[in-house]
Structure 1
């Protein structure tokens, strides 16, 4: 067996295609022993890809763009969360967006991730950062859920199935950002282009398993829900509800591909939070589709 490390953000449903590849034996069928490192700090996923501690990553896509702008070699080679799986969940007693004035809103990071989405959603409703509310960087959705329950924040984006769990526990939903931003590449399969070129055979074997895992997710709900329960500890009813939402809305891409429209939406929305020089490149410039194309041709 050849060994690879895949870095991922936290232990949440976003990682299900990789978990399927592991538990359904799809990586092993390609002669790969893949270690999945679950990391709470979203910046660290990108750091590990850069310094070689991980060979591939399910990373926050904005980090790949920022890395490229700084002269780095990271590329988006596949999709992961291609459409927003979130609800905007608030503590009981908050009835609408106007009630968020003066409140603390949890985000994964001020540098990337959910912060720019929050700024866009609230600006359209007359609330402007930082004068009207506070953004609290508290990590990915599991950390945000803990802080929401403890009162450390008043609201934040929660991904399925945590949003369903929150509603059942008395929290309220202020809306689904996907209704306003239908395409958004939140996380993606990323790699250092230099490492990939030097390890062509490993890359193609991983990509074949990656493609099979996405198809398996769509065609085998029983396996998908069982693995989601095993890895994340959620109840069966929530695993099934997440599967229904992710397949209905194609949140994971069935073909494994990144969304050019989703990357472009990310670029435009992320400019709300940082004063960056005008990006000279298009969304397609950050995506390398050759790896999945060659892997697909060899299936």
Structure 2
């Protein structure tokens, strides 16, 4: 005789199908995550804290972005990776957009991170140098040749009627501890330090001779190729919106900002972390878009340093498509 399957087996069958469907939906959700690589000029730092927060808080993930960080040895290598398609976003100085367009490479600011420069020029407390003009005949430390630090020194030298090379000698001295070592050993007479190091050293045997951190000018951004943004508008919008959400948190939530800073810089004291957080609330761009006036200043400054650069209008360099 033929035997029929027991009725109780049917619910088990349907249960199995239901579980498979749920698992399938979950897997599909995981597959939907778009991998996006961000390149840094060394590491995530205080002025790119929004990217770290967006990763840590899951803002990118919620927007369907699988964010990955790749650290390069300087801004130039990260820009090369951007142009070569190895990364989708470079955390870099906005001036690279103008330099790339001069070379025929279409790039743009995808998100404005910082609306000031991040550097200050420091000397030992006992130094006879009291102003930038006093640097005539002195050696000044920059991070590396062709860097933003060199451009800033060249620009200010021009403003003071000094010539780099004949009046002022610039030497690549690295960043942070390496720059300080060069200053302490007398290899350089003045050194360029990023915001956090400037805060740490100021008043601790060193003083600021010239401070670029007070100038409203495009200082740091997420840069992307036009072709990538146009081919992937949904990804570009997701990145912009998630980064904006994190940027506002960095500006408004002091506790979150201090905690994130101390993760990046484990030896940072509460006092210094608090000062850095306070500074970021003023220097970061709350809207994610640079102002047209600050961009005009950037173009003017670059024309002084390199008059052969292409003039790029504000809307082309800073489309801000997904932040309106």
Could you tell me whether the CA contact under 8 Å between 2:121 and 2:192 is conserved in 1? yes
Matches within 5 A, 1:112-191: 112-139=147-174, 144-145=179-180, 147-149=182-184, 151-179=186-214, 182-191=215-224
Distance 1:163 1:134, change over 3 A: same
Shift of 1:192: 0.9
SS in 1 for 2:116: coil
Could you tell me whether the CA contact under 8 Å between 2:240 and 2:322 is conserved in 1? yes
Counterpart of 1:221 in structure 2 is 254
Distance 2:207 2:220 in 1: 25
Could you tell me whether the CA contact under 8 Å between 1:40 and 1:140 is conserved in 2? no
Summarize deviations over 1:209-259 as a string: whole Å, max 9, x none. 111011111221111111111013322221210111121x3x111111123
SS in 2 for 1:115: helix
Shift of 1:140: 5.3
Summarize deviations over 1:180-217 as a string: whole Å, max 9, x none. xx321122111011112222222221111111011111
Between Structure 1 and Structure 2, whose CA radius of gyration is higher?
Answer: 2
The TM-score, its normalising length taken from structure 1, stands at 0.87
Distance 1:266 1:55 in 2: 24
Distance 1:150 1:32 in 2: 47
Shift of 1:280: 4.1
Counterpart of 2:269 in structure 1 is 235
Matches within 5 A, 1:34-113: 34-94=67-127, 95-97=129-131, 98-113=133-148
Greater displacement, 123-132 / 188-197: 123-132
Distance 2:181 2:264 in 1: 18
Shift of 1:109: 4.3
Distance 2:116 2:103 in 1: 26
Distance 1:196 1:176 in 2: 35
**Which consecutive unaligned segments of at least 5 residues does structure 2 have?**
1-32
Shift of 1:138: 4.2
- Higher RCO structure (Cα 8 Å, ≥6 apart): 1
RMSD: 2.3
Aligned pairs, how many?
288
Q: Which of residues 278, 285, 291 is equivalent to 2:316?
A: 285
**Which consecutive unaligned segments of at least 5 residues does structure 1 have?**
294-299
Distance 1:244 1:198, change over 3 A: same
